[in-house]
Amino acid sequence: MIDNALYWLEEFHFDGLRLDAVHAIVDDSPEHLLDELARRVRGTVGRERHIHLILENEENEAHRLERTEDGRPRTYTAQWNDDAHHVLHVAATGEAAGYYGDYTGDTERLARALAEGFAFQGEMMPYRGGAAGRAQRSSAALGLRGLRAEPRPGRQPRLRRPDRPSGAVRSRARPRRSLPSPAPDPHALHGEEWAASQPFPFFCDFHDELGQAVREGRRGEFARFPELQDEEARSRIPDPIAEETFRSAKLDWTALSREPHAARLGHYQRLLATRRQQIVPRLGDTLHQSGTWEMLGEGAVRVVWPLGDGGKLALVANLSARIIERVDLGEGRVIWTEGDVDRERGTLGPWSVVWTIVTGEP
């Protein structure tokens, strides 16, 4: 396996490797396979150029993400972080079935995930049936924010998007809560940035026994969702092997010139431009530093990140459908707002967001 990994890096000059489901690798060798792989890569082709080594690990383990004093990864560069995705999804849609149940009714999880990387650091997860992660120093979270979460739309039993009419009000501020952060969710998948109306189901082109195993595995994965308890309901989950499932996901590119899609795309573009112009030049080497967070009341959070110029980037968000009053919105220059925000009165309207920068010395 290790020789195969080196082959792609050395012969084809891949920029990096993404290792899937490493939590399922059982290895009691003196040197774990993952550690040996990283050592071999860093000691060979990694001496000549930077190699991205990315993990998917449901265990919320951070010990392979530490950095050297000059900020280089000792072993792995980053790790997909499902915590941030799940807590944002629950806040935006209200969905609480299946594995989303571990992320309901707890705004602190979102603040912790944005500031520190993992929302769960040794706590029990009822749906999972055990604890995830462990308590970590701030330095242990290095690299976590580099990649928020792997693609999830196709891994949900219901294929409507959060921006469809049923969830538009709550979800409209979702990208505004995370995109300006030092390391945002890198995904705007399959037309999400312009609120595409087509579903994004999981599909593949497997055949015979493998195809059947994937089909059954998909239905089994969602058996714990309340509305999918019986076999007949699960049979209505789109068949990942069927051609019509693939065709249902094909985007209508003509929609880009129509509303509300054009307006949504323009909104994303302005938000990304704000991040590029106002935040990225100030990051320096702070990408690998944790932020701080606090609750400002039920459903309201503040997250603060350090910036490379000595300043701070702050997010204040109301993740509820009610108005929150007498909130200290902090100091600094406002670079983005979403929803009804009255800074002088300290009032946050439903699902509102405000981003500020306190400028430091260069």
For every residue of 269-329, DSSP letters joined together read HHHHHHIIIIIHHHHTTGGGS--EEEEEETTEEEEEEE-TTS-EEEEEEE-SSS-B-S---
- Is 56 a residue of the active site? yes
Tell me the CATH number of domain 2-184, given options 3.40.50.720, 3.20.20.80, 3.30.70.3460, 3.10.20.600. 3.20.20.80
Residue closest to 82 by CA, chosen among 157, 23, 30: 23
- Choose the catalytic residue: 3, 10, 15, 20: 20
Extract the tokens encoding 62. 């951070």
In 3D space, the residue among 60, 233, 211 whose CA is nearest the CA of residue 140 turns out to be 60
147-194, pLDDT tens digit by residue?
Answer: 444 455 555 555 555 554 334 445 555 545 567 777 666 667 788 889
69 catalytically annotated: no
Task: Report the percent of the chain where pLDDT is more than 70.
Answer: 84
Residue 180, number of CB atoms within 10 A of its CB: 22
Question: Does the pLDDT of residue 274 top 80, yes or no?
Answer: yes
117 CB burial (10 A radius; 0-12, 13-18, 19+): buried
Catalytic residue, from 31, 35, 36, 56: name it: 56
* Other C-beta atoms lying within 10 Å of the C-beta of residue 72: 12
Classified as helix, coil or strand, 76 is coil
Q: Where in the chain is the domain with CATH 3.20.20.80?
A: 2-184
**What top-level class would CATH report for the domain 283-358?**
mainly beta
pLDDT (0 to 100) of residue 254: 96
At 89, list the tokens.
Answer: 């999804």
pLDDT category at 257 given cuts 50, 70, 90 is: very high
pLDDT of residue 183: 67
In terms of residues, how long is the chain?
362
Residues in Cβ contact with 116 at an 8 Å cutoff, skipping those fewer than 6 apart: 136, 138, 141, 144, 290, 291, 293
Does the pTM surpass 0.95? The reply is no
142, 5, 133: which is closest to 71 by C-alpha?
A: 142
Within the chain, which residue ranges are assigned CATH 2.60.40.1180?
A: 283-358
- Calculate the average pLDDT of the chain: 83
On whether the CB atoms of residues 299 and 318 are closer than 8 A, the answer is yes
Residue 121 pLDDT grade (very low, low, confident, very high; cuts 50, 70, 90): confident
Q: What integer pLDDT is reported at residue 259 of this predicted model?
A: 96
